[in-house]
């Protein structure tokens, strides 16, 4: 399906899949190589994402890896202020997403620092729904449900709730790695094209996650190949956005998939 997102009055075309590059302004993300702690590191990473073909920079400042303890809201906001200021200075025309589950942090990032998209790694609270509807920015809603049926039911209910509040642009994230066993992750991937019944773009984030390295008896550092394989499958299953650590390989996967699709 062909989708567009309204990014502050500009239409972002999703008729061909886009790559979202991860920028972690946090010292404790599960993939150590993704941590950008200094202003120079943040600038380098923002520029790298765009240079390698990424269209969206996803900035996060609170690790949500399994078993992690979220930092305080104040600390998350301070990290984002520093990171987003650098990203906007380096890439003023880039589409920037803020990765947060806190409504007030989302508001600050959008209103004060120019974030374009809110990427919520929870299933979405009513407070967050009210906030993004007021901010009028595209919203990524993730599922922590274990299977396709429950994922569809939860998405249908929450999309209706968001629509009733006036939210226009909604992106669905099946939530690979969240609330699912290894087997459940792969079963959901196998059936993911059935989520297209929702009529909304799909974001897939499997980059270097445990569903890959546990299956392959590996580590996050050693599973780029597995990530690329799953990203390619996700494209075949209808993904509109790939959220990744490794932008260049993901962009190559998109180019090859496009050639196959003609």
Q: Average pLDDT for residues 134-158, to the nearest whole number?
A: 97
Per-residue pLDDT tens over the stretch 156-165: 999 999 999 9
- Residue 28 clears pLDDT 70, i.e. is over it: no
Compute the mean pLDDT over every residue in the chain, rounded to the nearest whole number: 93
DSSP string, the chain: ---EEEETTEEEE-SS-EEEEEEE-STT-SSGGGB--SHHHHHHHHHHHHHTT-SEEEEE-S---TT--PPPHHHHHHHHHHHHHHHHHH-TTSEEEEE-S-HHHHHHHHHTT---EEEESSS--HHHHHHHHHHT--EEEE---SSHHHHHHHHHHHHHHHHHTT---EEEE--TTSS--HHHHHHHHHTGGGGGGG-S-BEE--TT-HHHHTTTT--GGG-HHHHHHHHHHHHHTT-SEEEES-HHHHHHHHHHHHHHH-
Q: Which residue is catalytic, options 136, 243, 255, 259? A: 243
Instruction: List pLDDT tens digits, range 110-119.
Output: 999 999 999 9
Per-residue pLDDT band for 69 (boundaries 50, 70, 90) equals confident
Least confident piece of the model among 19-28, 79-88, 207-216, 247-256 = 19-28
Name the least confident of 30-34, 84-88, 131-135.
30-34
The pLDDT tens digits of the residues spanning 9-20 come to 999 999 999 999
Please identify which of the residues 35, 209, 237, 259 carries the catalytic annotation.
209
* 36 has pLDDT over 80: no
Mark whether 134 is an active-site residue.
no
Model confidence at 76, in pLDDT bands (50, 70, 90)? Answer: very high
| pLDDT of res. 65 | 65
209 is catalytic: yes
């Amino acid at each position: 399906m062909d989708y567009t997102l309204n990014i502050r009055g500009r239409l972002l075309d999703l008729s061909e899949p886009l790559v979202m590059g991860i920028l972690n302004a946090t010292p404790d993300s599960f993939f150590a190589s993704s941590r950008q702690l200094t202003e120079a590191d943040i600038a380098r990473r923002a520029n790298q994402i765009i240079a390698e073909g990424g269209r969206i920079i996803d900035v996060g400042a609170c690790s949500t890896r399994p078993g992690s303890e979220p930092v305080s809201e104040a600390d998350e906001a301070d990290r984002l202020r520093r990171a987003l200021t650098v990203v906007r200075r380096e890439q003023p025309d880039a589409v920037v997403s803020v990765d947060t589950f806190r409504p007030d942090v989302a508001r600050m990032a959008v209103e004060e620092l120019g974030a374009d998209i809110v990427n919520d790694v929870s299933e979405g609270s009513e407070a967050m729904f009210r906030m993004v509807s007021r901010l009028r920015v595209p919203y990524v809603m993730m599922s922590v449900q274990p299977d396709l049926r429950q994922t569809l039911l939860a998405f249908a209910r929450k999309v209706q709730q968001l629509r009733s509040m006036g939210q226009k642009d909604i992106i669905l994230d099946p939530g690979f790695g969240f609330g699912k066993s290894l087997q459940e992750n792969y079963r959901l991937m196998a059936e993911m094209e059935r989520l297209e019944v929702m009529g909304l773009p799909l974001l897939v984030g499997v980059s270097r996650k445990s569903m890959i390295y546990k299956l392959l008896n590996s580590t996050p550092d050693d599973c780029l190949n597995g990530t690329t394989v799953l990203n390619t499958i996700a494209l075949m299953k209808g993904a509109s956005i790939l959220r990744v650590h490794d932008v260049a390989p993901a962009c190559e996967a998109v180019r090859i998939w496009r050639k196959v699709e003609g």
